[in-house]
Amino acid sequence: MGGILAVVSHPDDETIGCGGTLALHEKESNVLCLTCNPRNRRNELERACMTLGLGKTVVFDEDSVIPKGALIKQVADIIVKECPRVVVTHLPFDYHTDHRATYDVVKEAIEWAAHTTAYPNPCLVERLLLMEVNTLIPSPHILVDVSETMERKKAALNSYSSQLSKFPWRYYQRFNDEKAALRGAQANCIYAEAFIEEPLAKNGPFYESKATKNLLR
Amino acid sequence: MGGILAVVSHPDDETIGCGGTLALHEKESNVLCLTCNPRNRRNELERACMTLGLGKTVVFDEDSVIPKGALIKQVADIIVKECPRVVVTHLPFDYHTDHRATYDVVKEAIEWAAHTTAYPNPCLVERLLLMEVNTLIPSPHILVDVSETMERKKAALNSYSSQLSKFPWRYYQRFNDEKAALRGAQANCIYAEAFIEEPLAKNGPFYESKATKNLLR
Amino acid sequence: MGGILAVVSHPDDETIGCGGTLALHEKESNVLCLTCNPRNRRNELERACMTLGLGKTVVFDEDSVIPKGALIKQVADIIVKECPRVVVTHLPFDYHTDHRATYDVVKEAIEWAAHTTAYPNPCLVERLLLMEVNTLIPSPHILVDVSETMERKKAALNSYSSQLSKFPWRYYQRFNDEKAALRGAQANCIYAEAFIEEPLAKNGPFYESKATKNLLR
Amino acid sequence: MGGILAVVSHPDDETIGCGGTLALHEKESNVLCLTCNPRNRRNELERACMTLGLGKTVVFDEDSVIPKGALIKQVADIIVKECPRVVVTHLPFDYHTDHRATYDVVKEAIEWAAHTTAYPNPCLVERLLLMEVNTLIPSPHILVDVSETMERKKAALNSYSSQLSKFPWRYYQRFNDEKAALRGAQANCIYAEAFIEEPLAKNGPFYESKATKNLLR
Amino acid sequence: MGGILAVVSHPDDETIGCGGTLALHEKESNVLCLTCNPRNRRNELERACMTLGLGKTVVFDEDSVIPKGALIKQVADIIVKECPRVVVTHLPFDYHTDHRATYDVVKEAIEWAAHTTAYPNPCLVERLLLMEVNTLIPSPHILVDVSETMERKKAALNSYSSQLSKFPWRYYQRFNDEKAALRGAQANCIYAEAFIEEPLAKNGPFYESKATKNLLR
Amino acid sequence: MGGILAVVSHPDDETIGCGGTLALHEKESNVLCLTCNPRNRRNELERACMTLGLGKTVVFDEDSVIPKGALIKQVADIIVKECPRVVVTHLPFDYHTDHRATYDVVKEAIEWAAHTTAYPNPCLVERLLLMEVNTLIPSPHILVDVSETMERKKAALNSYSSQLSKFPWRYYQRFNDEKAALRGAQANCIYAEAFIEEPLAKNGPFYESKATKNLLR
């Protein structure tokens, strides 16, 4: 309970998008990956998550991500079970259609996971952060200093030989490094990861926390 | 330093939009009002703020709100001086053009107030909340329980005789009560005020807090 | 023929969203409900509609609302058969995904129902009004005075014991009352219901009414 | 009182955009033109309006159209004085910046003209229609059959020799004809003019008509 | 290889939307039509394409256009096989839901067709142009002079007797002519067709052309 | 005549946003800078442009950038005089309000510069590219390989001692390097600059090139 849950479309998204941040909170971070094609990417994902020091990794076997009711329900079930404080997922303006669909699924799942009418022990996620894989964030809200876990982020990426081998000119390794270095320049540290903060409802009739008593505490 | 700053277009917006919330944090709340026409509304505003228990009230003398550089600078100066943790202002989809312009001014002012290159002691506002005056929020993020300060919110509204007298059928009094009662129904309390949470950048090269070290603390 | 057709996602949407308005035009109002899960809600819906004084109620048995061709066709068939002057449905910015999808379905269905190439007796709906269930309308175009049918709207809501029992603190009853009271304050009457007016094409090659001859008659 | 008021940016917009429609309602149509540069276009405008059979033509002397308070007030004053049932103006997605600004001015002016707190005899405009000058409407709501006034629309255009002479290949004459012929094809008549219908609020606390009693009458 | 590929929703869209342009480049133009209901429209389509002088015409047998993975893959396969320099398709704001979905499918297919990781011989389309069928383009980027092929565009339309017979008042023939005449007036020629230019990525890690060396050559 | 014109808000934007690209086309590139506060930045700008190898640099003396008619006219005059083939400017979603306003000014100026009715020798700009200063482009259309001019881009940045000294931790130098390195990783070269391509109208009644004769030549 608590911690960070990264909900991603494909194996390697978690490492490229937020691997340094997950490793920084390694005892408290989990990954849910919605697709896994071809199947041998599953081993790669597990090796990457182990390298990042993460606990459990859940993999669904969707062919591609479609924001349909059954998938939303499955994701909400995971959210209720893990009850993360922070969820990380893809950008709604990502160039990849699976990433955009994952954003839609996660938004809906977070809503339903919080409903007292849907779950006996609902879970109100505190923060939703959106990460950058190949599509960059124009103006981030949050820059997480990952200087101390960058080596593990790099090592985790190396698990994905099936992907890396498609780019013999080492695209993903360079991109992974340079993106973290650019965000590090903005964050005045060596390496960083960038996120958009997406506001979530905190109060309302369907949540356990129906009202706020004090804005300053 | 700290507390809540409400930046509003006209006298009475602070009472109708967030008067109960301001009264709830009375020792820590201030009001900045950008216009004041005609001038006798200034007395009404001061009486209202005193009823709400607020400290200082600053009034600018714009004719109407235009998001121009000089006004943005003046608002940023106030933010830097008071350094509120929470700023409350109008909705960007408000029906009133002054309210929409005030939102634009406040967004810019919050940005510049945080820049180390603009102020020797910059101020990074933590939260920006958007309130409802005549235009309602479709799905609020935050509902503040104002049951215990509702009487003062009602009393503060009564200061505005120049406005109330335009509606002999007591529109504003009823609207003020019923809106708080509807939000109270959603918040499972007697009276509430509704807000949208607008995410603010927390890190970056121009702010003092250039990076986040831990997302869970 | 003529009258009002409310096309809603779930049983109780018609009562909370526009029950007072339907009761006001009771002889001329019908309801089409696209989903009905679990099935016992059907009895509740029928009881509610009877309380509102409505005639026929049509229920489709979708699991959730998806804007697919077959459903659009079914809704268009109903529109052609009933040929309502006014259609009422959900908001495109409603927090509930089924409600947003219902809006999409209804927009498409109204278009096709008017085509002379699709139906031998096409129906051009005059007005499309969008109602508020849990998501509020920021600035309504229309406020219908439902003071004289409010008692029936309240009674109709009481049919939905399967829903109401989920909120032992009487959320829906209070919300139903306070929303109508707030809109009544804006409309200078006791109780009102709020709507957005969505413009519809009146002329064109696919409609029977291809041109307007006079704008002032 | 009643009738149609066309509020346009420049002399000739009224003829190209809605001249046939104005001529069709000639006894009940007026024109308000916000700019007039150079000044000799004023004579052209007056000749055009006379050809269309219109009554009074009001001309403001803005250099370009800026949606500032004073101009909005002037337009609202005209609306209150004439109290048209229908206002016609430019498209918010027009390629010309003056046209887009005129749309903004007119929307605000219609709002304020209806306020009981702003005018002792406020005017609630019934319909706002948006016309096409050089920018076309993708899917019109309304097609007005102007077959019988097309000759006058053509003749009115010929008043604008200062403009027409800039296009020795007769651009405006051909465009004026072909646009009406294309809209006529869609409207199954010889010539037509196309409009978007923009919904207007009909009820609310600031209007005289605070509520609707019946949607079907 | 090279040339123009028009990807359309229904038989006749290619003729009405861009038939004159296709005929102008007859040796280098192909058509891909995603649906064909009822089946006899296939003969009409083939006759129309022959009249326009086009080569191969590919027809898929979707019932309606849904932007799902399998269809996107099929379209990408065609793009890779033909490798057109220019793709023409529907508008994202078209009134017809199949047309909007076709736009989505084509955008995705163009992206994947260019990926070196998806195809051994990927194809980077140079230009994407969007055409007008029943929905007009407000401000076109490109006007193609089709004066010399207009007779063939008209003749091609006449192949569609199953469609034309639905409009005994000759809607489509008149619309087809007048639209080209209006666009011709804007283009200072007899007949023209209008297009929006949609920018496409030219460089990036997934394309063969990863960088631009010179912007002026 | 021909070449590239960069229109920027402040001295240093041209170097950070597109300095490498300008240096790559040094004989054919010019800079127009709309503001220059304080005045000593003018010397810095001239030194930077000399380092990049550029010819003439024009500086306007606006306090801040406001999209008003007089400024648009001044920019259009420069475009007509220089008649660049490519214009580079800021992003419409840039975090800096001057940058967004500059985008608006440039879009209008490009339109008017092309009008035969506005200028005896109008200029139709071929391409409009949007660059990244502090706000990043999510998915660029164009990546220009600036590996061979990167040293000059770095040297040009060093002219701006008044700006650089505000960031003793060398923010701008690092950001400038790492951004080019990240874009280089995507472009499979050492250093690159990223751009969005914004489509421009090529044909129409107000331009000299009223129609396109052939899409493939």
For the stretch A148-164, pLDDT in tens is 999 999 999 999 999 99
Residue F38's pLDDT is 87
pLDDT 10s digits, A169-182: 999 999 999 999 99
Instruction: Give the model's pLDDT for residue E56.
Output: 79
Q: Is F117 close to D166, i.e. CB distance below 8 A?
A: yes
Other C-beta atoms closer than 10 Å to the C-beta of E149 total: 23
Residue F1 reports pLDDT greater than 80 = no
Q: Which residues of D touch F116 (CB under 8 A)?
A: 166
Inter-chain CB proximity C178 and B182 less than 8 Å: yes
Chain-chain contact of B166 with D69 (C-beta, under 8 angstroms) = no
Q: Which of residues 62-101 of F touch E (CB under 8 A)?
A: 85-86
* Pairing of the two strands F29-35 and F4-8: parallel
Which tens digits make up the pLDDT trace of C7-34?
999 999 999 999 999 999 999 999 999 9
Residue B15: closest CA among B138, B105, B149, B167: B149
Proportion of chain A in helix, strand, coil states, percent, rounded to 5: 40, 20, 40
Q: For residue C91, which residues of chain B lie inside 8 Å, CB to CB?
A: 138
Give me the residues paired with residue F57 across strands: F31
Question: How many other C-beta atoms are found inside a 10 Å radius of the C-beta of residue A184?
Answer: 24
Query: Is D95 in contact with E135 (Cβ distance < 8 A)?
Result: no
Give, for F19, the enclosing helix (H) or strand (E): helix F13-24
Residue C212's pLDDT band, with cuts at 50, 70 and 90, is very high
ipTM above 0.85, yes or no: yes
Determine whether the interchain pair A185/F169 forms a contact, defined as Cβ–Cβ distance below 8 Å.
Answer: no
Chain segment D142-174, per-residue pLDDT in tens: 999 999 999 999 999 999 999 999 999 999 999
- Taking residues F188-197, report their average pLDDT: 98
Cα distance between residue B201 and residue D26, in whole Å: 57
Is the distance from CB of B65 to CB of B9 less than 8 angstroms? yes
Q: Which residues of A touch C35 (CB under 8 A)?
A: none
E17 touches chain D (CB under 8 A): no
Amino acid, single-letter form, for residue E155: A
User: CB–CB of F108 and D95 under 8 A?
Assistant: no
- Give partners of A (≥3 CB pairs < 8 A): B, C, E, F
- Give me the phi and psi of B3, to 5 degrees please: 80, -160
Residues of D in contact with F205 (CB under 8 A): 134, 167, 171, 175
> Which tokens go with A94?
């990502």
C22-75 residue pLDDT tens: 999 999 999 999 999 888 899 999 999 999 999 779 999 888 999 999 999 999
Residue F205 contacts D, CB cutoff 8 Å: yes
Cα separation of A164 and A157, whole Å? Answer: 8
Contact between F35 and F63 under an 8 Å Cβ cutoff? The reply is yes
Q: Compute the average pLDDT of residues C95-111.
A: 97
Does F contact D via 3+ CB–CB distances below 8 Å?
A: yes
Q: What are the backbone angles phi and psi of residue A141, rounded to the nearest 5°?
A: -90, -35
The phi and psi torsions of B143 (rounded to 5 degrees) equal -125, 115
Hey, how many other C-beta atoms are within 10 angstroms of the C-beta on E151?
A: 14
From residue D202, how far is each of C139, D141, F147 by CA, in Å?
Answer: 11, 19, 62
Whether B and C touch (3+ CB pairs < 8 Å), yes or no: yes
Question: Within its chain, how far is the Cα of D11 from the centroid?
Answer: 11
Q: Residue C105's closest chain E neighbor by CA?
A: E97
User: Distance between CA C180 and CA C147 in Å, rounded?
Assistant: 9
Query: Residues 118-137, chain C: which have Cβ within 8 Å of A?
Result: 134
Q: Which residues of chain D have pLDDT under 50?
A: none
What parts of chain A have a pLDDT lower than 50?
A: none
Show Cβ contacts of residue A123 under 8 Å, excluding neighbours closer than 6 positions. A79, A80, A82, A83, A84, A113, A114
Provide the β-strand partners of residue F62: F35
A69 to chain C, closest Cα gap in Å? 8
Instruction: Tell me: pLDDT of E1 over 80.
Output: no
Question: β-pairing, D192-198 with D142-145?
Answer: antiparallel
| Contact across the interface for F185 and A175, Cβ inside 8 Å | yes
Tokens (6 digits) for F66: 């406001």
Are B159 and B48 within 8 A, CB to CB?
Answer: yes
Exposed / middle / buried, residue E90 (Cβ in 10 Å: 0-12, 13-18, 19+): buried
pLDDT in 10s for each residue of chain B, 217 residues: 789 999 999 999 999 999 999 999 999 999 999 999 888 899 999 999 999 999 779 999 888 999 999 999 999 999 999 999 999 999 999 999 999 999 999 999 999 999 999 999 999 999 999 999 999 999 999 999 999 999 999 999 999 999 999 999 999 999 999 999 999 999 999 999 999 999 999 999 999 999 999 999 8
Say whether C178 and B178 touch across the interface (CB within 8 A).
yes
Angle at B64 between CA B60 and CA B68, to 5 degrees: 80
* pLDDT tens for each residue of F57-101: 999 988 899 999 999 999 999 999 999 999 999 999 999 999 999
Q: What pTM, to 2 d.p., does this model score?
A: 0.97
Which DSSP letter does residue D27 get?
Answer: G
Contact yes or no for C97 and A117 at CB 8 A: no
Chain E hits for D135, CB-CB cut-off 8 Å, are 138-139
What is the pLDDT at residue E62?
86
Check E108 against A95: CB less than 8 A apart. Answer: no
pLDDT at F20 > cutoff 90: yes
Structure tokens at A27: 């005892």
Query: Is pLDDT above 80 for F213?
Result: yes
Chain E residues closer than 8 Å to F188 by CB: 205, 210-211
Cβ–Cβ contact C214 with E under 8 A: no
Is the CB of A175 less than 8 angstroms away from the CB of F182?
Answer: yes
Neighbours of C, requiring at least 3 CB pairs below 8 Å, are A, B, D, E
- Chain A residues within 8 A of C175 when measuring between CB atoms: 205
Whether residue C113 has pLDDT greater than 80: yes
Q: Which residue of D has its CA nearest to E181?
A: D178
- In the prediction, which pLDDT does D87 show? 98
Which contiguous run of DSSP H or E holds residue F7? strand F4-8
Question: Among partner residues B68, B111, B117, which is closest to F166 by beta-carbon distance?
Answer: B117
Looking at residue D62, its pLDDT comes to 86
Taking the CA atoms of residue E124, residue E127, residue E133 and residue E134 in that order, the dihedral angle to the nearest 10 degrees is: 110
Residues B95-118 as b/e (b if ≥16 CB within 10 A, e otherwise) read bbbbbbbbbbbbbbbbbbbbbeee
Give chain B as a DSSP string: --SEEEEESSTTHHHHHHHHHHHHTGGGEEEEEEE-SSTTHHHHHHHHHHHHT---EEEEEESS----HHHHHHHHHHHHHH--SEEEE--TT-SSHHHHHHHHHHHHHHHHHT-TTT-SS----SEEEEE-SSSPPSS-SEEEE-GGGHHHHHHHHTT-HHHHTT-TT-HHHHHHHHHHHHHHHHHTSS-EEEEEEE-----STTSS---BS-S--
**Cα distance between residue D91 and residue F121, in whole Å:** 30
Res B90: pLDDT = 98
Is E167's CB within 8 Å of C69's CB? Answer: no
Residues from chain B contacting residue D117 (CB–CB below 8 Å): 166-167
Q: Which of D63, D97, D136 to mutate: most F Cβ within 10 Å?
A: D97
Q: Tokens standing for F51?
A: 């380092």
